[in-house]
Structure 1
Amino acid sequence: MSEIPKNVKRKVQELRKEIEYHNYRYYTLNDPVITDYEYDALMKELVELEKKYPQLSSPSSPTQRVGYKILEGFKSVEHPSFMYSLDNSYSMDDMVEFDKRVKKLLSVSQVDYVCEMKIDGLSIRLVYENGELTLAATRGDGKVGEDVTENVKMIHTIPLILQQRVNVEVRGEIYMSYTEFKKLNFQREEAGLPLFANPRNAAAGTLRQLDTSEVAKRHLDSFIYTLISPEKYGVKTQWDALNYMDKLGFKVNKESKLVHDLKEMQEYLAWCQEHRYEVDFPIDGAVIKVNDFSYQEKLGFTAKYPRWAIAYKFPAEQARTKIKDIKIQVGRTGILTPVAELEPVKLAGTIVKRASLHNFDYIQKRDIRIGDVVLVEKAGEIIPQVIKPIVEERNGTEKMIEIPKECPVCGGPVGKLDEKDVAIRCLNPYCPAKIEAWIENFASRKAMDIRGLGEKLVKKLVKLGMLKDPSDIYELKAEKIANLEKMGKKSAENLIKEIEKSKDAPLHKVITALGIPMVGEGTALLLEKKFSSLEDLMNADKDSLMKIDGIGEKVAESIVSFFSMEETKKMVRKLLSHGIGKGTIRKENEFQPLKGLKFVITGTLSISRDKMKERLSALGADVSSTVSSKTDFLLVGENPGSKLDKARKLGVKILKEDELEKLINQSKTNS
Structure 2
Amino acid sequence: MIDISTENIKKEYENLKKEIQKHDKLYYVESKPIIDDRKYDEMFNRLLEIEKKHPEIKAPDSPSNRVGGLKNEGFEKVNHSIPMLSLDNTYSEEEIIEFDKRIKKNIKSDYNYSGELKIDGVSISLIYESGVLKRAITRGNGITGEDITQNVKTIRTIPLKISKDIDIEVRGEIFMPNKEFERINEERENSGKDVFANPRNSTAGTLKLLDTKEVAKRRLDNFIYYLINPEKYGIKTQTEALDFLKEIGFKINKHNKMLRDVDEVINYWKYWNKNRKELEYDTDGIVLKINDFEIQKKLGTTVRSPRWAIAFKFEAEQKETKIKEIKLQVGSSGIITPVAILEPVNLEGSTVQRASLHNFDYIDQRDIRDKDYVLIQKAGGIIPQILEPIKEKRTGEEIKIHPPSKCPICDSETGKLDEEEVAIRCLNPLCPAKLKRTLEKFASNSGMNIEGLGPKLIERLFDSGLIEDLGDIYKLDKQKILSLGEGIGEKTANNLIKQIEQSKNRPLENIIYAIGVPGVGKKIAKDLSNKFKNIDNLLKAAKEELTNIDGIGKELAESIKSFFEEEMTKRVLEKMKKYGVQFSKKEVSFKNNVLQDKIISQTGSLKSMTRKDFSDYVEKRGGEFSSNVTKNTDILVIGENPGSKLQKAEKYGIKILEEDDFFTQFK
Same fold (TM over 0.5): yes
After superposition, the Cα gap between the structure-2 partners of 1:387 and 1:39, relative to the gap in structure 1 and judged at 3 Å, is farther
Of residues 115-124 and 260-269 in structure 1, the stretch that sits farther from structure 2 once superposed is 260-269
Measure, in 1, the Cα distance between the counterparts of 2:202 and 2:274.
25
CA contact (8 A) 2:474 2:500 kept: no
Whether 1:518 and 2:460 are equivalent positions in the alignment is yes
Tell me, yes or no, if the aligned pair for 2:342 and 2:355 is still in contact at 8 Å.
no
Per the alignment, residue 354 of structure 2 pairs with: 355
Distance 1:627 1:134 in 2: 43
Q: Please say if 1:553 is aligned against 2:475.
A: yes
**1:418 aligns to what?**
436
The one-letter amino acid of 2:265's match is M
The CA distance in 1 between the partners of 2:502 and 2:210, in whole Å, is 18
Partner of 1:477: none
| Equivalence map 1:19-58=2 (5 Å) | 19-58=20-59
SS, match of residue 275 in structure 1: helix
Q: Is the 8 A contact 1:129 1:166 kept in 2?
A: yes
Q: What's the secondary structure of 1:251's corresponding residue?
A: coil
1:256 and 1:313 mapped to 2: Cα distance?
16
Contact 1:319 1:375 in 2 (8 A): yes
Measured against aligned partners, the alpha-carbon deviations of 1:195-225 in whole angstroms (never above 9, x if no partner) come to: 3222222211221112222222222111100
Q: Is the 8 A contact 2:117 2:255 kept in 1?
A: yes
Q: Distance in 2 between matches of 1:99 and 1:621?
A: 65
Shift of 1:70: 2.0
- Pairwise CA distance, 1:243: 1.1
In the alignment, does 2:647 pair up with 1:646? Answer: no
Q: Which residue of 1 aligns with 2:196?
A: 196
What's the CA shift for 1:260?
A: 1.6
Partner residue in 2 for 1:440:
none
User: Any stretches of 5+ residues in structure 2 without a counterpart?
Assistant: 329-337, 411-431, 441-455, 507-602, 619-636, 642-667
SS at the partner of 1:25? helix
Root mean square deviation of aligned Cα: 4.8
Secondary structure at the aligned position of 1:418 is classed as helix
Q: What is the deviation of 1:297?
A: 2.0
After superposition, give the CA deviation of every residue in 1:358-395 in whole Å (9 maximum; x if it has no partner).
9xxx899988985366664447646x635688799995
**Given residue 396 of structure 1, which amino acid in structure 2 is its aligned partner?**
I
**Structure 1 residue 140 displacement after superposition:** 1.3
Which is worse superposed, 153-162 or 367-376?
367-376
> Do the aligned partners of 2:72 and 2:210 also contact (CA within 8 Å) in 1?
yes
Closer/same/farther in 2, CA of residues 277 and 208 from structure 1, 3 Å limit: same
SS of equivalent to 1:205: helix
TM-score (norm. length: structure 2): 0.60
Alpha-carbon distance change, 195 to 656 in structure 1, aligned in 2, over 3 angstroms:
closer
Provide, for residues 158-199 of structure 1, a one-character-per-residue CA deviation record: whole Å limited to 9, x for no partner: 111112222111001111122122222233333333332222
Measured against aligned partners, the alpha-carbon deviations of 1:465-513 in whole angstroms (never above 9, x if no partner) come to: xxxxxxxxxxxxxxxxxxxxxxxxxxxxxxxxxxxxxxxxxxxxxxxxx
Residue matched to 2:222: 222
Write out aligned runs for 1:362-441 (5 A): 371=371, 376-378=376-378, 381=381, 385-386=384-385, 396=399, 418-420=436-438
CA deviation map 1:385-412 (0-9, x unaligned): 356887999953559999689xxxxxxx
2:554 corresponds to which residue? none
Where does residue 175 of structure 1 map in the other structure?
175
SS at match of 1:81: coil
In the aligned structure 1, how far is the partner of 2:346 from the partner of 2:390? 22
Kindly indicate whether the alpha-carbon contact (under 8 Å) linking 1:173 and 1:224 is maintained by their aligned counterparts in 2: yes
For the residues of structure 2 that align with 1:119 and 1:288, how far apart are their CA atoms? Answer: 13
The one-letter amino acid paired with 1:77 is V
8 A contact 1:238–1:291 mirrored in 2 = yes
Residues 621 and 122 (structure 1 numbering): CA distance in 2 closer, same or farther, change over 3 Å? closer
- The answer to whether the Cα contact below 8 Å between 2:606 and 2:638 also exists between their aligned partners in 1 is no
In structure 2, the residue matched to 1:102 is 103
Question: Hey, what does 1:83 align to over in structure 2?
Answer: 84
- 1:538-591 Cα shifts (integer Å, max 9, x gaps): 9xx989xxxxxx97436879759x68xxxxxxxx9xx9xxxx99x99xxxxxxx
**1: distance between equivalents of 2:360 and 2:214?**
31
Q: CA deviation at 1:339?
A: 8.8
Shift in alpha-carbon separation, 1:386–1:88, aligned structure 2, 3 A: closer
Q: 2:353 corresponds to which letter in structure 1? A: R
**Residues 353 and 228 (structure 1 numbering): CA distance in 2 closer, same or farther, change over 3 Å?**
closer
The number of residues matched between the two structures is 471
Q: Could you tell me whether the CA contact under 8 Å between 2:316 and 2:379 is conserved in 1? A: no
Letter in 2 for 1:518: R
Identity %: 42
Which residue does the alignment assign to 1:65? 66
Contact 1:517–1:558 under 8 Å retained in 2: no
Specify the code of the residue in structure 2 equivalent to 1:418: K
- Residue number in structure 2 paired with 1:136: 136
* Structure 1 position 127 matched with structure 2 position 127: yes
Cα pair distance change 1:349/1:181, threshold 3 Å: closer
Matching of residues 95-494 of structure 1 within 5 Å: 95-108=96-109, 110-319=110-319, 321-325=321-325, 341-343=341-343, 345=345, 347-348=347-348, 352=351, 354-355=353-354, 371=371, 376-378=376-378, 381=381, 385-386=384-385, 396=399, 418-420=436-438
SS of 1:648's equivalent? helix
* Residues 391 and 144 of structure 1: CA distance in aligned 2, closer, same or farther (over 3 Å): farther
Counterpart residue number, 1:92: 93
CA distance in 1, matches of 2:361, 2:605: 39
Q: Which amino acid aligns with 2:124?
A: I
Report the Cα offset of residue 289 of structure 1. Answer: 1.1
Q: Quick check: 1:197–1:379 contact (8 Å CA) kept in 2?
A: no
Gapped regions of structure 1 (runs ≥ 5): 329-337, 406-413, 423-513, 521-537, 544-549, 564-571, 585-612, 632-637, 658-671
CA contact (8 A) 2:68 2:154 kept: no
User: Which residue matches 2:570?
Assistant: none
Is 2:114–2:257's contact at 8 Å kept on the other side of the alignment? yes
Deviation at 1:320, TM superposition (A): 5.7
